[in-house]
Structures are given as C-alpha cells and as structure tokens.
Amino acid sequence: MRTTDLKMLKLLLLLTFTEICAAQNGITLSVFTVTSKSMTVQWNGLTGASSYKITATPKYSSNRPVFAHFGGNTVLGSVNSLSPNTVYTVQLEAIDNALNVLSSAKTEETTAPDIPVIVQAYSKNSDSITVEFTEVSGATSYILRAETDNFFSETPVSGSPGTVVQLQPYTDYQLSVMSVNSGGRSQPSETVSARTVVVAPMLNTTSPGNDSIVVSWLPVKNAVLYTLCIIQEGSSTRVKVNTTENTMTFYDLEAGATYCIKGTAWDPQGRTGDDLTVCQITRPPSPDVIYVQVTQGRSLGIAVYWVSVQGAENYIAWTSNGRNCTSTDNSYCYITPLECGQNRSVSVTAYNTAGPSSPSQPVPYITYPCLPDKIWVEEPSPSNCLLKWDQVQLVEYYMAFIKRDDGTERSCNTTETTCQFFCACGYTYLVTVFPYNQAGSSPYANVQNYTTIPCCPDSVTIQMISTDTLEVMWSPVKGAEVYETTAAETRDTIHCNDTSPVCALSDLRCNTPYSVTVTPCSELRGCNRTCPSSTRETAPCPPEILDMTQANSSTYRVFITNPNTPNTNYNITAVGRYDAHICETRNSSCDLTQLSCGSAYEVTTVATTAAGRSLPGYSKLLETGPCCPTFVNVTQVTQALTNVTWSPGSGARSYVTSLSSSRGYAKCHTLDTHCLMGCITCSTNYSVTLEAISSTGHKSECSYHGFSSSPCCPTAIKIYRKANNSLRVYWRPLGPQISNYTVNLNGTGANYTCTAVDGNKYCDVQDDICGDVYTVVVAPEGPNGMKVNFCQPRTFSVPCPGNAGILISRRRRSLD
C-alpha cells in the first residue's frame, strides 16, 4: 500500500473512533472503499461487543454470500472474493461473548468494474503520453496513473485511448489504468513503461532585409537533429532542411511576404518531438514618392504621396530636417507644422513587423516664405505714408494690403520692400505683407496698426458765455479720442481736456486777448499740434468808482478807474427809487445830470467793448443834496430884525439861511422852516441864500430873489410951530436911499397926517393943533409904496401960542 493510502486510512480510523465515542446507543455502518473484488466498510464500536460479523450478499444474483469476522476492538474491515461490478447488501452484526447479536446494521454498495489491460503507450508530444487499453463492462470512466520516483498523477478519461498530460519531456513514466463506476475504482492494471519525446526548438525569426529570414533557436535537451520546413503564405511550395546547428538563414525570398517556418527536434531513438511553427514577414520593398504638396491651413505643412508596397503595415515620411508623419491606412500623410522659408527634401520608409524598408529616393520641396520680422509705417510728410518691411528669403514677390478703418482697401504688388500710399488724417490703417514663392504664401500675416494724427476740427466757434468764460464748440473730427483746448496769453495758459466737442475755458483774465486752440489727440498718435488757433478777447474788466462829486444841484461827476483798452466804453448808471440816469464815457469821468434832489441812487459802472460787457463794478451809494425850498419869505419885523420863512425841502434835515450885503450879513442854522435874523441894516439890498443840509451832511446851495430892507426910520425928529400956528415936523434921514415919508400925529383930540416926497426932511401940518400932546411917527415909504410900520413913535406936547420954538418931547428914543 502506498504512503498516501496509509495516511488516508489512519484518518478514517480516527474519525470512526470519534463516532464510536459519540454514539453508544446503536451501531452505524458505512462503505469506506470498494475494488473490483473487495469492499471495505467501517462502523462505530458498540459497548459489550466481543466480535463483529460482516456478510456481503449479492443483491441481484444467486451467488453465495461472503463472510468476514473481526474482533471487538475492530471498526474497519474488508470483505474479499467478491464479483466485479456487482451490487452487494452488506450487513454488520455486533456479537457479545454469549454469541448474542447486540446490534446490527445494513448498507448496499456496488463493487468496482474489472481491471482493464493496457494495450500500448506512446508519446507524440513532449508533455503527454497516450495510453490504449481494453475497456471493461460496467465502467463509467477510467483513471490513467503515471508515476516516477518523484512524480504521481491520475488523469480521468472516458475511454480508450486516454492521454496523460503535464508531463516532462524525454522522461520515462510507469503507466497503469483503473476502471471506475458508482461503487468506486478497480485495482490498477499492470504497469507499462513509456518515454515522452523531446520538445520543439523555440524558433526566433528576424528579417534583416527584404529578401531573407534568419531563424535561430536554443539547443533542445536530448535532441540530436533539427528539421526546418518553410512555406510562403498562399503558396504550396515547401522547403525542408535538416541541421544540427542552432541557426538557419533563408535567402531569395519575396519582399513583404509572410513565410511560416516549422521546426522539429529528433531524439536519439529517432523519434521526432514536438513541432513549432512561427511566421515571419520579410521587410517591405522601398516605396516610391510620387508627389509632395505644401499644404495651407492653420499651420504650415506638406502632404506626401507614395505608391503602396506589399507587406507594409505603416509608412513614415521623413524630411531632411527630421520632421515626420506616419500613415497606416493611406498612401499619404501630412507633416505639420513645418517652418516657413525652408528648402528641404522628403523620403518615405515602409514598415512592418520585420522592420523598415530602405528609404525612398528623396524628393525636394520648398515651403512658402516666412513673414517679415518687422513691418512699419513712416509718414515723411502729412498724408504721405510709406509701408516698409524687412527682406525675406526665398521670396519671388510681396503683396502688401492696406485697409482703412472705414473699409477702404488697397493693395501693392512689388518685389521691393516698400509701398507708398495716401493716408488721410484721423484714420487707422491695418497693414500687412504677404511674401510669395512657388509654394504660395503664409495663410496668416502680422497685422500692424498705424493711426494718423487726428484731423484739425473745422468750424470752431468761440462764444463768451460769461465775462471770464469762453465756450468753445467744434465739429467732432476723425481719429480724435480727446480734445485739448487751450486759451493762451502772455502770462498764463488755461487748459481744458474733454472727449466731447465742447469746452468751457473759465477763470480768464478780463480785457485780455487769448489765443484759443483746439488740439485733437488720440492715444496712439498723441496730439495734432498743427491746428490753427483763433484769437478772442475776453470781456473788459469792471471799472471801479473812485469818487463822486456834485457839480451843481442836479449834476454829479463820477470818477472811475480805466482798466481797459482806450476804445472801451463805460456806462455809468444811477438807479433811484423813482428814476434812473445813465451817462457814457471813454474817459475816467462822467457827469450824471438831472438827478433828483433829496434822493439816493445806486451808482454802478459797466465797461463795454466789441468783446462784450464787463461785470458791473462795485456799486456806490450816491445821495443827492436835499431839495431847495420852493419859496423863501423874508419879513422885516423891526428895522434890524427880519423873520425868514421857507417851505420844507425834500431830504433836508437842517437849514442855514443867509442874508448877505456889502454892509454885512446875517445867518442862522435851524432845524425849523423859519428863522429870526437880527443885525439887519436898513435901506440895504440883501442876497438871500439857503443851504439845505441832509442827515448825512450833503448840502444844497439855494439862491433866491434878493431882499431889500426897509428904508431907515429917520432920527432927530423935531416939531416946530410956525407963526401961523401950523406945525412943521422935521427929521434927519438915515441911509443913502431917498424916500417918501409919511408923518402921523395922533393926539387926544385929532389925528393929522402929512407927507414928504423926494427926500424932503420935513412935513407941515397946517391946522392949529396946539394945546395937545401928540404921538408922532415919521415912517419912510418902501419901494412898493408901503409905509414902514415899525418906526418908533415920539410923543410931543404942543403948547398954544405964546411959547415959541421947539416943542418939548415928552418921550424920545433914538434909533441910532
């Protein structure tokens, strides 16, 4: 029995012992294994059993049963001398020492089929041996067993012949066969010896050229000869060679064709071993390039066309500067990107698994010229532009394109590196240059922008919107992004920048000519400094009032500053509550006439030139003198005292009244409209003047008709009685004036009057009036014939005759 079987048996015994320990109440029976002529069963030990009896009875035949006895300590036993492939009923009985059956158990099982016989064993492959054997009745399958000293394997097969695999090459094996049915397997047949063949050589093939294949292999152990057979794919012609070497070269093969090579090794017994077939394709023939085309597109490239060759799996086109492209399905490919301005060649190599073909003959090609490194525009003079660019290699001619931003376009075809064109102001020009040769030109070109300076604006209008602000307006011009407006004079320059075609220049000096310039500017080209300027003078400076003096009662002279040019007109306006007055001058003074007395006027000055009007100067208040009273009455109260009255004067608060003559004057200052004035000289012509004074001190000199004081009352009045009892009144006149006098004698008994004319100094009363006391008043008559009524009376006592001479005055008063 083999080592493996013994180990398995020990394991089963251990398991049986465990079952016996676990079940003491009964006995169990099971088949452990069967063969063609035996059956081994196992059971659990039963307490009290001294022996066991096994009976195997054929179930379907009349053959005699077979018995076997075992001791009380046995749990595994075999029944031999059974018939192959037969169903048996197996009974186990546990017997004690008294030969009583303590317990029993039954089971059924079929014996294995009969043992087959090996007819022959042979090896056709290095890892297997084929066994032919006789098939037996009742077998459902077979097991082939192969053994060496250190190898054991069993291979199930369904019938004869069967093959044992996974064997070692050129190795001796002991082979046997067993039949199998549902009951188990038979005993192994008698062994036979067989040796496996050698392995096939491991062929390595290469195709060093398009007409040869090299085959090589490592030596095969135990091989003494090698056979190689080569055949072209699709052909029936074979070439077979034998060799003891480890390499073989086949020549004169077809390029790009596939050849299959089968290799076999021979062992010393003259047996061929495994065979191995490998297929190798020869390298393809060289393709022929038929066309090279420079392609246009996003990137520069060439399209290479060639004739397809046999056996090529893919193609690679190589340029002389190392660029390449690959094609598998087509007979063309594109090499991109390439460099512009290149004069190169291209060749094509075919490839398959064997390797590359020889390169085709190189075909030259030329790429389109490179773009100029630099293009630029010069403008030697306004509107005369010159497009320039750098020289380029491999160029036949240049095409320059100039496109204006309004869509206008022109082109220039030249072999030179310049192109002249008209460039109007205020436009942006897009310029580009395409160099051409036989390959064409670049699909792209560098585009440069050139912007001419902005145009100068037309119809610039300058309008004064205030005395120190000029509004400048113009039409928008092409190319201008911002406008720089300046107003320049000798001492200052005012700037205004705006994107709109209007600008207000403020804070300008008055009465100053400014040079106004509108300069259009752009970010690219800067400012056009060639635009003409316009001169515009600002409004005159406002004059200031220096002084105002009164020329007469209704005329005032206003003195002003003269800050402007000589041709400046100055308007001086006096605005009162009820009226307004104006005067004009080009000098530094002007008279305001017919001003109302007793009024307040706001006086302002404005300067006017062709440029406009100035702001009004600071105004001043002109208060006219108060109005003169419309009348003045002088009434003589006494010979030396007068009462002067007058009407109120508008605007006057106080009055100074004067009576002036060559013999003296009298004056009074009062807030009233009347005044008593003394120290009047009689018989004197006085000039009457009145000075009306306002509350602020303004005065008006008022003159009136002269006043003549009354004739002087005579002095030294005396009464003489004449012989005829008449009275003569005698006096002494005062003053140079010759006047008529009226003499009134008023007595208690009668009143008497006499007159003296033409300067006479006496007057006679013819009636007899003696014996009475008389009040005598001698009064001169004024020029109007009115008697002076303020001469003082004198009282005389007139005695009757008998008393001669001057009568005695009872009261006298001197007026001297």
Residue 274: which pLDDT band, with cuts at 50, 70 and 90?
very high
What is the average per-residue pLDDT within 464-468? 88
Residue 802: which pLDDT band, with cuts at 50, 70 and 90?
low
Average pLDDT over the chain, rounded to whole?
88
What is the average per-residue pLDDT within 338-360? 93
Residue percentage of the chain with pLDDT more than 90: 60
DSSP output for 242-308: EESSSEEEE-SPPTT-EEEEEEEEE-TTS-EEEEEEEEEEPPPPPP-EEEEEEEPSSS-EEEEEE--
Q: What's the CA gap between 307 and 82, in Å, rounded?
A: 84
Q: What's at 35, amino acid-wise?
A: T
pLDDT tens for 538-581 read 999 999 999 999 888 789 999 999 988 888 999 999 999 989 99
CB 731 within 8 A of CB 762: yes
Q: What is the pLDDT of residue 726?
A: 77
pLDDT tens for 299-320 read 788 999 999 999 999 999 999 9
Residue 444 has pLDDT above 90, yes or no: no
pLDDT tens for 245-258 read 999 999 999 999 99
- Closest among 707, 714, 712 to 675, alpha carbons compared: 707
Of the chain, the end-to-end C-alpha distance in Å amounts to 208
Residue 811: which pLDDT band, with cuts at 50, 70 and 90?
very low
Please give the sequence-ordered ranges of beta strands (E in DSSP) within 307-374, or none if there are none: 314-319, 324-327, 332-335, 343-352, 355-356, 363-366
Choose the weakest-confidence range: 243-257, 374-388, 666-680, 729-743: 729-743
What is the average per-residue pLDDT within 402-415? 93
- What is the model's pTM? 0.47
Residue 196 has pLDDT above 90, yes or no: yes
Higher pLDDT pick, 371 / 20: 371
